[in-house]
Structure formats: C-alpha cells, structure tokens
Amino acid sequence: MKFSEFEYKRPEIEGFKQDFEIALKNFENGDSLEAQDEALREISRLREEFGTMWNICLIRHTSNTKDEFYEAENSFFDKNLPSYEALNTRFYEALTQSPFRKELREKWGKQLFVIAELSLKKFKPTILDDLKEENLLSSAYTKLKAGAKIPFDGKEQTLASIIPYEQNQDRTTRKNATMAKWAFFEKNGGEFESIFDKMVKVRHSIAQKLGYKNFVDVGYVRMLRSDYTPEMVANFRNQILEHVVPMVSELMAKQAKRIGLDKLMFWDESFKFASGNATPKGEPQWIVDQAKQMYKELSKETDDFFSFMLENDLLDLVAKKGKATGGYCTYISKYKSPFIFSNFNGTSGDIDVLTHEAGHAFQVFSSRDYKIEEYNWPTFEACEIHSMSMEFFTWPWMQLFFKEDTDKYKFAHMAGSLKFLPYGVAVDEFQHRIYENPNMTPAERNAVWKEMEEKYLPHRDFGDMEFLTKGTFWQRQNHIFGDPFYYIDYTLAQICAFQFWQKDQKDHDSAWADYVRLCKAGGSMSFLDLVKYANLQSPFEDGCVESIVKDIKQWLDNIDDSEF
C-alpha cells in the first residue's frame, strides 16, 4: 500500500481512553501470566493505532505546514499527547508492579522494564498542562522556520533552498547569501528568543513538579539513558576538546589554503574546494535510481528494504515552500513502514541525508517484527549509530552519485564528520548550562553560546556579522528547541560509526554482519549493551576517541587535498 493510501483518522480521544482503561484493568486483574500477556498485547495494539495516526499526521503536516487540515490535526496531537503519555505511564506502573514481573521479563526482555522504570520518572499528571505548552512552543518554532521567506537572487528562498548559494564558488555570493539567511533570524530573533525563554521556564516547571532540581535530570530520563551519566558525558566532551578540536582547527587552516584564502571566515566554511564542492551529478529522481542500484548491490537485506520504500512511496525528499526544514525518519507501525523526509537542494548533503535517514529506516525495517513498540527503535544515541554508519558503508558506491568528484566527496565527508564533533559537544554543554541556570536572560544565554564557540570552535570568525557575534547561532538548531539533550547522541554515535568505518576497511563481511545484527536488535538493549553486542568500544572509555582520531588523521593526511 502506498503512503498516499494510508488511512488517517483522528483518534476519538475519549473512546481511546475508555478502551485503554479496559485493557489496563484486564492487565492489572490478570490472574495468570497468560492473562496479563494477552492484555499487554491489546495495550500494544491500541498504542500502535494511536502512534500510527500521530506519525501519518506528522509526515503530512511537515510536508506542507500550510495545509490547514493537518495543521489542525497537529494541534490536536500537541494538546492530547500528554494525556496519551499519562495512559502509558499507568501501563508502566502496572507492568513494574505485576506479580508476574519475573516471567514477563523473561519473555519480553529486561529493557522493557528499564524503559518502564525510567518513564515513570518523567511523568506525573500535575505536568499535563506544562507538556501541552511545551508541545505548542515546539510547533511554533517549527512553523516559524518553515515560513522563512528570504529574498535573494531575485527569488524568494527558503532556509533549504538558499544553502547552494552559501556554497557558491564566488565569495561575494557566499557572504551575501549567508547574510540574507541570517537577516531572517535577526528579524525574528525576538520571537525565537521568546519561544525559547518560555520553553526553558516551562521545562524548569516540569522538573520541579517531578521533584528534580532542574531539567537536566528530566532530559536524561526522557532520553531513556540508563547506563551513563552527565559526568561521563562531560568526560567525553573533554576527550573531544583535547583530541578533536586541535585537529579540526588544522583542517580549517588547510581548507583556507586550499581555496586560496589567508583567513577562513564563517561564510567560507561551507565552501570546501576552489574547484567547487562535490555535487550529485543528476536530479532527485536520478539520485533515487542510483540509490536503488547501490542498495541492491550492498546486500540482499538492503535491496529488500529499499525496494519496499520505493514501491510504497515512503520517501519525501525534495525541498519546497511550506515544507518543514531538516530531515528525519519515522515509523508507521500499523503498516510496518519507515518513512524518510528530507529537503534536497542540489548539494552533497542530499546524499548525506539520504544515506543517513536510510540507515535509520533500514534499522527499524530490520526490527519491525518486535511485538512491542519499545523495541522498534533503540534509544537515540544507538539509533544514530545505524544512520551514521550507513553513510560509511555506502562509500564504495559514491561513484554512482559523484562520478569524477568521488574522492573529493569522501575527503569532505570524512573531514565534515570530524568537524561536527566539536559543534555537537558545544550544543550539549550549552544545554547543560542553560537548564542548570533557568533564570538566565536571553542575552546571558547568548553569552553562554559565545563561550561555547570560543571553547570548541576557536577557528570560527563571523567578521562583521554583528548578529552572530552576539552568540545567536544556536537559534538555528532544531534539536535545542524540540528535542532537548538530543545532540550528544550524534557525537557518541559518530565515534561508533568511525569504528565501523575502521572495521569495514579491514574486513567488510565481518563489519557488515556486526551492523546487521545491531540493526535487528532494535531497542531490545540499552546503549552500551548494544555497543558491546556490535563488537564496538564504548565512546566513554578513555583512549577510544584518541585512537580513532589517529586513524582518521592518517587517512586524511594520505590524501593530497590540494589536487581538489
């Protein structure tokens, strides 16, 4: 069935609550393992139905934020998701108190109970109104960015369509495009800061009502982090600061030399080579055709997966007006269908996002037969291992997309993956600081971001772009608004993906087998258990980052980038 044929019907919330209550009562009153197991399956079916409608709405709303019907449906979910979470919380309470807990754990695995116990720490009925407000603020941010109208080159650009101009070979064009984009943020800066100020306050309110000192602990619980702590994350950030930041500064200096500049300015960062950045050599449908060949040749598993995605129209790839920014993969459980959303714009990022989101989609496709939704996806940092590793596993097929620019693309991709790490940890430390000090003014928050840039991004120079010199760059980062503390996950996963790259260089069959096994495990284990299951080293271990960076540096140094 094609995605356009997936039926959407707004859940009748009162009827849904009644059905859930009946199933929950049956679970609580079940006098045998079999009775409780049957009730658990009914609860799972109800959650699947609700989650399916929610995800269909999400996709159709973000594909066209101007569609009034799905705008209203999105508002419905913003208002009612907290009530749904309240029902889930009651299910988790019943599960953890079950007299057959030991037997249920043996059948369904311990991770379900880890998730249940953590979820109980993130919700009380007293925070319902706060959660509704948080959802509405997140949607307001998404809509504000999706509605960007940026006059440039005689046209009205979006935040996605202006990116190619920021990578133009002409330096003046690059700077003017960058300034035009950030003029949008400056014009709406008051609104961005107002939305975030309200978010910080409502999240602090949630933390206090849940009995926490501040939102940091809530953020970790929401992310279902069961086997590492803020202290371990801080140590990881220090490893990035010590071993990666100096190397990134070296790469930036090489880039300046490569493109003929004495000094690399902010508007030059996206322009990698004097001959121009590597770009896909065809239009979006051509890209999809190459991807089909790539996944057919990579493995039987990926061929089956990508054929399923194409046959059922489960990709929305091209940027257009009114479409939400960014890229994501979600899962429509009733139809056992992943969905990939992106904003192609003619840059190499089109291939990055396609392989990245395909990694997510391949994982959930591989674990789609789990009977409980908790195991369809792992926690987010583990999710990102699948996506970032897929970017590297597909390297042997980059020739299909980039032709004569293939080596240029690989160099830029590897360097870019490394360059991301300092930015990723900067976002994480910024969020820790903000939520540890919830009464900061907008100006004080900007000062914290400026401090993060000086610490982790010392190469960055905004020149005469006064708005950005105040520390406002963070306002573009969707995750800071909509998914608090979901960013260090990318950096942890990147270290794991680099390990898959290392292994793939030595023994592809073994590396791919580990990867497929990891994907099939879905969310049935915690992050560090999954890392061990995939025969990877924990990113938190001292020496892990250093050893990986040494191999990457050797690989990069063996390439004469001046030839590009």
**pLDDT tens digits, one per residue of 443-464:** 999 999 999 999 999 999 999 9
Residue ranges of domains in the chain: 3-123, 223-281+393-564
- Here the tokens at position 467 are 């708005």
The pLDDT value given to residue 167: 93
Which residues, other chains included, contact 218 with Cβ-Cβ below 8 Å and sequence gap of 6+?
122, 203, 206, 207, 210, 212
Q: What is the largest CA-CA distance in the chain?
A: 76
Identify the CATH number of the domain defined by range 223-281+393-564: 1.10.1370.30
The pLDDT value given to residue 83: 92
Amino acid at 433: R
DSSP conformational letter for 325: S
Give the dihedral sign, CA 51/57/58/60.
positive
Nearest to 221 by CA among 93, 131, 123, 130: 123
The pLDDT value given to residue 46: 98
CA–CA distance, 367 with 310 (Å, rounded to integer): 19
Which residue stretches of 394-438 are H helix?
398-402, 406-436
The residue assigned the tokens 């419905």 is 76
CA–CA distance, 437 with 322 (Å, rounded to integer): 35
**Which residue pairs from 271-275 have beta carbons closer than 8 angstroms and sit at least 24 positions apart in sequence?**
271/167, 271/168, 271/169, 271/171, 271/174, 272/408, 272/412, 272/415, 272/564, 273/408, 273/412, 273/561, 273/564, 274/169, 274/564, 275/408, 275/564
DSSP conformational letter for 126: G
The pLDDT value given to residue 274: 92
Which residues, other chains included, contact 255 with Cβ-Cβ below 8 Å and sequence gap of 6+?
264, 268, 269, 272
C-alpha distances in Å from residue 518, one per residue of 109, 246, 490: 16, 32, 17
**Mean pLDDT estimate for the chain:** 96
Q: What is the pLDDT of residues 265-291, one digit of tens each?
A: 999 999 999 999 999 999 999 999 999
What are the average pLDDT values for consecutive 10-residue runs of the chain, which has 564 residues? 97 97 97 96 97 98 96 95 93 97 96 96 94 95 94 94 94 98 97 98 98 97 96 97 97 95 96 93 98 98 98 96 93 98 94 98 97 95 97 98 97 96 98 98 98 98 97 97 96 98 97 98 98 98 95 95 89
Please answer whether residues 117 and 96 qualify as being in contact, where contact means their C-beta atoms are separated by less than 8 angstroms. Answer: yes
Strand partners, 152: 155
**Consecutive H or E run containing 59:** helix 33-63
The pLDDT value given to residue 35: 97
CA–CA distance, 386 with 527 (Å, rounded to integer): 12
What count of residues does the chain have?
A: 564
